[in-house]
Amino acid sequence: MSEYDDATRLETGDDPTQRHGTFSEDWMIGNAVNGGLVMTTALRALGEHLAADPGETTEHVDPVVLSAYFMTASQPGPFTVTTEVMRCGRTLSTGQMTIHQAGDDGRPVERMRAIGSFGNLTDLEVQRQAAPAEMPPPDQCLSADQAPPGFLSNAKFLDRLDLRLDPDTAGWALGKPSMRGVMRGWLRLRDGREPDTTLLMLALDALPPVAFDLGLFGWTPTLEFTGHVRRRPEPGWLQVTLGSDTLGGGMMEEDAMIWDSAGNLVAQSRQLCGVRTPR
Amino acid sequence: MSEYDDATRLETGDDPTQRHGTFSEDWMIGNAVNGGLVMTTALRALGEHLAADPGETTEHVDPVVLSAYFMTASQPGPFTVTTEVMRCGRTLSTGQMTIHQAGDDGRPVERMRAIGSFGNLTDLEVQRQAAPAEMPPPDQCLSADQAPPGFLSNAKFLDRLDLRLDPDTAGWALGKPSMRGVMRGWLRLRDGREPDTTLLMLALDALPPVAFDLGLFGWTPTLEFTGHVRRRPEPGWLQVTLGSDTLGGGMMEEDAMIWDSAGNLVAQSRQLCGVRTPR
C-alpha cells in the first residue's frame, strides 16, 4: 500500500453517510494538512459511498469536477467525512462532502465543504485540448533536494512528492522571482504510486504557490478550489503548470493545468487564495 | 424597479433560512429558466440571509466566489431558496444555497445547489489584471435584432438583454462558425438597470454558448459553474469574452471574462457543460 493510499484510507461504521480517518503530520504544509490531500480524501469518501449504494450507477468511478471551500485549516488527527448523494444521472453522479474535526472544546469544526460529480472517463474521445507547455525534461529540472537549507523544513508534504521545477520558473527560490506569475514542474509520488483521476485533484494543488513567482512569500490559503478532470492519466510523470492573472484586494487567482506522460491534458483547476503579508 | 430586480425578488416567512419567489417565463432559454438568473437569485437569498442575521458581518455585501451545480432544469413557477451560513470570517462569509421547485407529483425537486462567499469589494487595490480583449464598439457589433428570423424565438431571456456580438465571432449565426471556440460581445440589461457584483454572475452565463463557434448547436446544459467577482463594475456596458480549450467525452469547458466600462476586469468564470447532439 502506498503512502497516499494509506493517508486517505477510511473506515465505515453504521452510518453509510459517514467515514472516518486520521490526517497524518506527514502531509502537512505549514501549519495545515495539505488541502489537496483533504480534497482527495473527501472524493474517496464520496466514491466509496456511490459504490456502496446499490441504487446508484456504479460505473461513475472517476471524479470529473470538484468545488471545495476551505473554512478552517485541517490538523493532524482524526476526522469525519460526511457524504450526501444529490443526484445520479446518466452521465454524472453528484454529491456533497463535508470534513469535520473536533475543535479544542471537542465540538466538531468544519474544515472543508465540497460539491463534486463523478462520471466515467474510460476510452474518452477527445476533440480539443490545450497543448502541453514547453519545459526541460525532469532530469534537467530542480528537485526539492536542491532547495536552500531550511527552505522546506516546514513542508513535510513535499517529502511525499518527487517535484522537479523548471529552472526558468524557480528563480524565487534564490530570491529572484520572475514576477510573471508562472510556475512549471514535473510531479510524481515519491513512493512510485501511479496517478489516477482522484490523485489528479491533489496534484493540481501540490506545487509551491504561484504567488512565490510574484515575490509574495506569505501564506496564501486556498479559499475556494474548483478542479476539472478531463481524462485518466497514463502512468509516469505529471507535467504541471500554474499561472495567475489576477491579484487584488488581498486575494488572487491561481490556475493549474496538468498533462500526463502521453502529453494529454488530464486536469485543470482554478482557485481563489487569500494573500497574507508575511510577518 | 427593474425587470431583473423584479425577477429575483424574494419573500420571507417564519423560517430565516428559507425565501420564496417565482421564476418567470420571461427569463427562459430553451426549455429552462436561464441558469444565470437562478444563480443570482440564490446569491440574493444568501446576501439577504447574511444581512438579516445580527451575528454576521454586515459589510460582506459583494459575492466574491460562487460554485453552482445544476441538477435539473428550473421551470417557470414558484421556487424556494434555502440558505445556510457556514462560516463568517474577517474577509469572507461563506454559505450554501439550494433551490427547489415542486415536481409533477408535488414533491420538492432540487434544481441547483451552490456554495459561495461574500466579501466587500469597495475601494479595492488591484495589482494585476488581464487587459480587455480588442473588439469593435457596441454600435459596430451585431445585435440580437439582426439575427436570422426565428433564431431567437426560443430565447425570451435574450429580450431582457441588449447583447452586441463582435462580428468576428458571430459567423456561427450565418452557419459559418470560426471553429476557434471564441465568442465576444457587449452586454447590458435592456431596461437600463446598471450592473452590480451579483448581476455579474448572470452576465458570465448570458452570451450564446461558445459551443456555437465550434459548430455545436445542440443543447449545452451547464453542469457546474464557478464564477469569481474581482471588483465592483462601473455603470455602462460590460465587455464579455468566452473561450474554450477542452472538448471531449460529451463535455466541454467554457471560460468567461468580463471587463467593465472603465476597462477593469470585474469577473471571470469557468463552467463544465454537457454537449448534446441536436435531434
Say if residue A152 is in the same domain as residue A229.
yes
State whether ipTM is beyond 0.85.
yes
The whole-angstrom separation of Cα A183 and Cα A209 is 8
CA angle in degrees (0–180, nearest 5) for A100-A102-A106: 145
Percent of chain B with pLDDT over 90: 83
**If you write DSSP's letter for every residue of chain B in order, what string do you get?**
--HHHHHT--EE-S-TTEEEEEE-GGGEETTEE-HHHHHHHHHHHHHHHHHH-TTS-TT--EEEEEEEEE-S---SEEEEEEEEEEEE-SS-EEEEEEEEEE-TTSSEEEEEEEEEEEE--TT--EEE-PPPPP---GGGSEEGGGSPTTTTTT-GGGGGEEEEE-GGG-GGGGT---SS-EEEEEEEETT-PPP-HHHHHHHTT-SPPGGGGGT--S---EEEEEEEE-SPPPSS-EEEEEE---EETTEEEEEEEEE-TTS-EEEEEEEEEE-PPP-
What is the pLDDT confidence band of residue B218, given thresholds at 50, 70 and 90? confident
Contact at CB, B253 and A228, closer than 8 angstroms: yes
| Residue A14 confidence (pLDDT) above 80 | yes
pLDDT at position A148: 66
Whether residue A110 is predicted with pLDDT greater than 70 in this model: the reply is: yes
Position A149 scores a pLDDT of 64
Q: What average pLDDT does the structure give for chain B?
A: 93
Q: What is the pLDDT of residues B76-112, one digit of tens each?
A: 999 999 999 999 998 999 999 999 999 999 999 999 9
Nearest to B272 among A121, A228, A253 (CB): A228
Say if residue B147 is in the same domain as residue B240: yes
Instruction: Flag whether pLDDT at A278 surpasses 70.
Output: no
Q: Taking the CB of residue A139, how many other CB atoms lie within 10 A of it?
A: 8
Q: What is the pLDDT of residues B195-214, one digit of tens each?
A: 999 999 999 999 999 999 99
- Quick one: average pLDDT of B255-277? 95
Q: Is A223 exposed, middle or buried (0-12, 13-18, 19+ CB in 10 A)?
A: buried
Cα–Cα distance for residue pair A258/A269, rounded to 1 Å: 9
Question: For position B158, what pLDDT does the model report?
Answer: 85
Decide if pLDDT at A150 tops 80.
Answer: no
Are B193 and B73 in the same domain? no
Residue of B nearest to A267 (CA): B246
Q: Do A200 and A264 sit in the same domain of this protein?
A: yes
**Residue A57 predicted with pLDDT over 90:** no
User: Given an 8 Å threshold on Cβ–Cβ distance, is B127 in contact with A248?
Assistant: yes
- Checking if the pLDDT of B72 tops 70, the result is yes
What's the DSSP call for residue A44? H
Bridge partners (DSSP) of residue B138 are: none
Boundary residue ending a domain (A119, A150, A168):
A119
Domain boundary residue, one of A87, A119, A151: A119
At which of B119, B151, B182 does a domain end? B119
- Whether residue A144 is predicted with pLDDT greater than 80 in this model: the reply is no
Q: Are residues B156 and B103 in the same domain?
A: no
Do B165 and B267 sit in the same domain of this protein?
yes
Q: Quote the pLDDT of residue B149.
A: 64
Mean pLDDT over A151-166 rounds to: 84
Inter-chain residue contact A121 with B249, CB threshold 8 Å: yes
Whether residue B132 is contained in a domain is answered as no
Q: How far apart are CA B121 and CA B128, in angstroms?
A: 15
Cα distances (angstroms) measured from residue B178 to each of A175, B151, B181: 45, 19, 7
Full domain range(s) for residue A254: 138-274
Going by pLDDT thresholds of 50, 70 and 90, the confidence category of residue B171 is very high
Question: Cα(B41)–Cα(A235) distance, rounded to whole angstroms?
Answer: 44
Torsion of CA A40, A43, A44, A48, to 10 degrees: 180
Q: What pLDDT does B37 receive? A: 97
Confidence of residue B232 (pLDDT cuts 50, 70, 90): very high
Amino acid identity of A61? V
Please indicate, yes or no, whether residues A152 and A105 belong to a single structural domain of this protein.
no
Dmax (CA) for chain B in angstroms is 56
What is the C-alpha to C-alpha distance for residues A139 and A12, in angstroms, rounded to an integer?
42
Cα separation, A44 vs B168, in Å, equals 45
B71 touches chain A (CB under 8 A): yes
Q: How far apart are CA B171 and CA A167, in angstroms?
A: 43
Contact A265, A255 (CB under 8 A): no
Which of A152-156, A173-177, B252-256 is least confident? Answer: A152-156
Instruction: Identify all chain B residues contacting A228, using CB atoms and an 8 Å cutoff.
Output: 246, 253, 270, 272
In a domain, A133, yes or no: no
The DSSP bridge pattern shows strands B28-29 and B32-33 to be antiparallel
For residue A140, the SS3 value is: helix
Number of domains in chain A: 2
Judgement on whether residues A112 and A11 belong to the same structural domain of the protein: yes
Question: Is 70 exceeded by the pLDDT of residue B279?
Answer: no
User: Within a 10 A sphere around the Cβ of A102, how many other Cβ atoms?
Assistant: 14
Residue A249 lies in a domain: yes
First to last CA, chain A: 40
Contact call for residues A138 and A99 (beta carbons, < 8 A): no
Alpha helices in A163-269 (DSSP H): 197-203
Does residue B113 form part of some domain? yes
- Alpha-carbon distance B247 to A228, whole Å? 12
Nearest by CB to residue B92, choosing from A128, A181, A223, is: A223
CB contact under 8 A, B129 and A223: no
CB atoms inside a 10 Å sphere around CB B24: 16
A168 and A263: one domain?
yes
CB B220 within 8 A of CB B274: yes
CA B157 to CA A114: how far, in whole Å? 31
Contact B12, B19 (CB under 8 A): yes
**Span A72-107, pLDDT tens digits:** 999 999 999 999 999 999 899 999 999 999 999 999
Average pLDDT, chain A: 93
B5, B47, B92, B189, B190 from B61: Cα distances, Å: 16, 6, 10, 21, 25
A130–B69 C-beta distance less than 8 A: no
Q: Taking CB atoms and an 8 Å cutoff, what residues of chain B touch A129? A: 245-248
CATH number of domain containing A35 = 2.40.160.210
- Asked if B124 and A96 come within 8 Å (Cβ–Cβ), the reply is no
Decide if B210 is inside a domain: yes
Nearest to A88 by CA among A60, A63, A125: A60
Cell numbers given for A139: 532530469
pLDDT of B153 reads 64
Q: Using pLDDT thresholds of 50, 70 and 90, give the confidence band for residue B278.
A: low
What are the pLDDT digits (tens) for B16-36?
Answer: 999 999 999 999 998 899 999
Q: Which residues of B touch A126 (CB under 8 A)?
A: 247-249
Per-residue pLDDT tens digits for A199-217 = 999 999 999 999 999 999 8
Start-to-end C-alpha separation, chain B: 40
Asked if the structure places residue A279 within a domain, the reply is: no
Q: What pLDDT score does B146 carry?
A: 76
Counting residues of chain B whose pLDDT is more than 70, the rounded percentage is 96
The per-residue pLDDT for A243 is 97
Report how far apart, in Å, the C-alpha atoms of B23 and of each of B20, B40, B198, B220 are.
10, 12, 17, 21
Contact A213, A172 (CB under 8 A): yes
Question: E strand or H helix at A52, and its extent?
Answer: helix A35-52
**Cβ atoms within 10 Å of B258's Cβ, excluding its own:** 25
Least CA distance to B96: which residue of chain A? A113
A66 and A29 part of one domain: yes
The stretch B52-71 carries a mean pLDDT of 90
Chain B residues with CB inside 8 Å of A197's CB?
A: none
Q: Does residue A131 lie within any of the structural domains?
A: no
- The arithmetic mean of pLDDT across residues A11-20, rounded, is 95
- Shared domain for A29 and A63, answered yes or no, is yes
Task: Kindly state whether residue A130 falls inside one of the protein's structural domains.
Answer: no
pLDDT band at B145 (very low <50, low <70, confident <90, very high): confident
Dist CA B200 CA B166 (whole Å)? 20
Q: Are residues A109 and A202 in the same domain?
A: no
